[in-house]
């Protein structure tokens, strides 16, 4: 050990390297929009310079123009209104039944034992494959479309709901019992609010699936609807109209996601 004076120590001073931080995504406003715009501008530039041929990708400005025509002719709402009705009715039915069944599976051993294998069996079936069956069962018009969308939303909602109910803190339930709360009070005031985060994140997935199935349902025997509009455009190889339809679906997806986000913000205020 050699004697070193304080100044020698200072000469060897190095800052401790920082190695923390990261792994914590934060909200960055506008980045999402920037990515969208960058992709659109690239497509616009590519199609204008001929770098991307007109057959590969329609020009974004042309798609916008088609969209404008669609709006002006009034056809937009003629397609949008039935589609939205189908989506809302079908998804509401599927989600309502799904949440109820999911809660029942979470609460009752016999329901769980009976239905979990059934749900596992139904889940991987591509619901679109059952559309002909639904047409026979519920008719070629709205009934079969509602049923398809409802059925498609049902399975992911059930799975998310019973997993959420399973994850409710048991000590809170024991607490409720120890204070003599009724069974119904425990379900309503402890189990359901406790499962709400899981149910809502399940609904995000379910509603995206509902939009996919909406299009699938409208591709068979629908005069109006975004699905039939896209199918028609595809059959004619009208890429501008096809993309206009696809954009509508994307916007629909963003809107439902934002809606759930808003509900989460309200209902789950206690979490953040």
Partner 1 sequence: MDIRLDGVSHSYGVTEVLRDVSLDIPSGKIVCIVGPSGCGKSTLLRVLGGLERPTAGNVLQLGQIPQDCLNPMTFIFQDFALLPWRTVRGNVSLVLEDHALPTKEMQSIIDDVLARTKLSDFADALPRQLSGGMKQRVAIARALAVNPAVMLMDEPLSALDSQTRELLMDDLIALWTRTPFTAVYVTHNLAEAVRLGHSIVVLSRRPGQVREIVHLDKPLAERGHGDPELEAHQRHLWGLMRDEAAAADAELLNV
Nearest to 64 by CA among 84, 40, 33, 38: 40
Q: Which of residues 188-247 bind partner 1 (CB under 8 A)?
A: 189-190, 193-194
- Asked if 73 interacts with partner 1 (CB under 8 A), we say no
DSSP 128: G
When the beta carbons of 106 and 227 are compared against partner 1, the nearer one is: 106
Taking the C-alpha atoms of residue 42 and residue 52, their distance in angstroms, rounded to an integer, is 10
When the beta carbons of 18 and 179 are compared against partner 1, the nearer one is: 179
- Asked if 266 interacts with partner 1 (CB under 8 A), we say no
- Asked if 263 interacts with partner 1 (CB under 8 A), we say no
- Asked if 182 interacts with partner 1 (CB under 8 A), we say yes
- 114, 132, 174, 262: which one contacts partner 1 (CB under 8 A)? 174
Nearest to 188 by CA among 123, 107, 263: 107
**DSSP H helix total and E strand total for the chain:** 12, 0
CB of 98 to partner 1, least distance (A): 22
**Looking up tokens 């590519």, which residue turns up?**
46
- 177, 236, 250, 257: which one contacts partner 1 (CB under 8 A)? 177
- 178, 223, 237, 266: which one contacts partner 1 (CB under 8 A)? 178
Which window, 14-22, 54-62, 172-180, 213-221, contacts partner 1 (CB under 8 A)? Answer: 172-180
If one counts every other C-beta atom within 10 angstroms of the C-beta of residue 64, the result is 16
* 124-128 contacts at long range (C-beta below 8 A, 24 or more positions apart): 127/151, 127/152, 127/213, 127/216, 128/213, 128/216
CA geometry: angle 219, 154, 140, nearest 5 deg? 30
When the beta carbons of 175 and 236 are compared against partner 1, the nearer one is: 175
- Asked if 167 interacts with partner 1 (CB under 8 A), we say no
Q: Which of residues 125-144 bind partner 1 (CB under 8 A)?
A: none
**Looking up tokens 């034992």, which residue turns up?**
113
- 93, 163, 181, 260: which one contacts partner 1 (CB under 8 A)? 181
Residues that bind partner 1 (CB under 8 A): 171-172, 174-182, 185, 189-190, 193-194, 268, 270-271
């Amino acid at each position: 050990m050699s004697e070193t004076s304080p100044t020698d120590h200072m000469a060897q001073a190095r800052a401790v390297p920082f190695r923390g931080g990261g792994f914590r995504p934060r909200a960055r406003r506008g980045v999402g929009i920037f990515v969208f715009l960058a992709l659109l501008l690239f497509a616009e530039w590519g199609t204008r310079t001929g770098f991307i041929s007109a057959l590969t990708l329609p020009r974004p400005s042309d798609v916008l123009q088609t969209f404008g025509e669609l709006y002006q002719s009034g056809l937009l709402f003629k397609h949008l209104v039935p589609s939205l009705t189908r989506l809302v009715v079908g998804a509401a039915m599927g989600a309502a039944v799904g949440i109820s069944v999911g809660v029942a599976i979470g609460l009752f051993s016999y329901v769980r034992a009976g239905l979990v294998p059934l749900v596992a069996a139904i889940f991987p079936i591509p619901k679109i494959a059952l559309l002909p069956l639904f047409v026979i069962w519920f008719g070629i018009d709205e009934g079969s479309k509602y049923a398809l969308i409802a059925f498609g939303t049902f399975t992911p909602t059930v799975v998310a709901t019973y997993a959420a109910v399973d994850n409710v803190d048991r000590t809170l339930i024991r607490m409720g019992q120890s204070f003599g709360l009724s069974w119904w009070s425990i379900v309503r005031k402890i189990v359901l609010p406790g499962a709400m985060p899981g149910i809502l994140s399940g609904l995000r997935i379910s509603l995206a699936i509902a939009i996919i199935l909406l299009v699938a349902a409208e591709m068979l025997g629908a005069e109006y609807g975004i699905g039939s509009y896209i199918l028609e455009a595809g059959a004619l190889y009208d890429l501008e109209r096809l993309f206009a339809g696809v954009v509508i679906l994307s916007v629909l997806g963003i809107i439902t996601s934002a809606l759930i986000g808003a509900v989460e913000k309200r209902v789950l205020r206690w979490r953040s």
